[in-house]
Amino acid sequence: MVGTSVAVVAFAIAMAYLEAAVVVYLRQALGIEHDALFPLRLDDGSGNLGRIEVGREGATLVMIAAVGWLAGSGWVERLAWAAVVFGTWDIAYYGWLWVFVGWPPSPATWDILFLLPVPWVGPVWAPIVVSAALIGFGLLAARRLRRGGTIVVGPWQRVGGLLGGILVAGSFALDAGHILAGGIPQTWAWPLFVAGMALATLAAVTALWPRIRSGRSPARRSDLQA
């Protein structure tokens, strides 16, 4: 468990370094100040820059999924390791950017979080909160499974986790039309974010500790039954 954790975290930190370096290079090549992300600019005149950037984000997700697949055994553990990679990469990305160019200047700084399928925008602290939760629950889940413990992923956990994720993503993407039209972010649907985080957290907690939901200690079961 320790060796796998070190390898997964090291990979994520190194991947974050590469992505932060690419962002620095691109912004300097395009003459974009690091604190001037808005209005959103994805067209370099050829029409290819936006497509390349979206493809890069898709490739990043493939890399994260691949590491989770290789590190884990069974779909629950693989998902747990992928969550650890994603969370570590995201937090380390901001850390490397701050080391390289002093950005973001504060956790409240607005950022373009993602472009798939539409731009996601929010304050930097919000994705950091999501990533910290992914790391924490991912490591707890992987540790539980490596020790032969139980994780109950029933209908409620699936629906709660999925709906919570949709609400969190929706809070970031709700203003996509305004951003695509060249607007500057002014507000953020933080109530959706809070509701989504609460729902997803509850689903994760009841999966890891079924006794919280049932009031009794469950029998141990294998990962195949999770």
* pLDDT at 46 exceeding the cut of 80: no
Does 209 or 48 have the greater pLDDT score? 209
Give 214's contacts (C-beta < 8 A, 6+ positions apart): none
Read off the pTM. 0.86
pLDDT confidence of residue 151? 87
| pLDDT mean over 80-90 | 97
Which of 174, 166, 168 lies closest to 192, judged by CA? 168
Mean pLDDT computed over every residue of the chain = 87
Name 106's bridge partners: none
Q: Identity (one letter) of the amino acid at 15?
A: M
pLDDT of residue 43: 62
Q: What's the mean pLDDT in 9-35?
A: 88
DSSP 111: E
Cα(175)–Cα(195) distance, integer angstroms: 18
Mean pLDDT of 210-215: 56
Angle at 35 between CA 180 and CA 118, to 5 degrees: 25
Q: DSSP assignment, residue 148?
A: T
Per the listing, tokens 């009841």 go with 206
pLDDT of 45 above 60? no
- pLDDT score, position 222: 37
Tell me the backbone φ, ψ of residue 83, rounded to 5 degrees.
-65, -40
Which has the minimum average pLDDT: 31-40, 132-141, 158-167, 168-177? 31-40
* CA distances (Å), origin 73, targets 8, 88, 186: 14, 20, 44
Share of residues in the chain with pLDDT > 90 (%): 57
Which is more confidently placed, 44 or 88? 88
What pLDDT is stored for residue 223 in this prediction? Answer: 40
DSSP 89-122: HHHHHHHHHHHHH---SSTT-EEEEE-SSS-EEE
* 101-131 pLDDT per residue, tens: 999 999 999 999 988 888 899 999 999 999 9
CA distance 215 to 24: 52
Residue 47 scores a pLDDT above 80: no
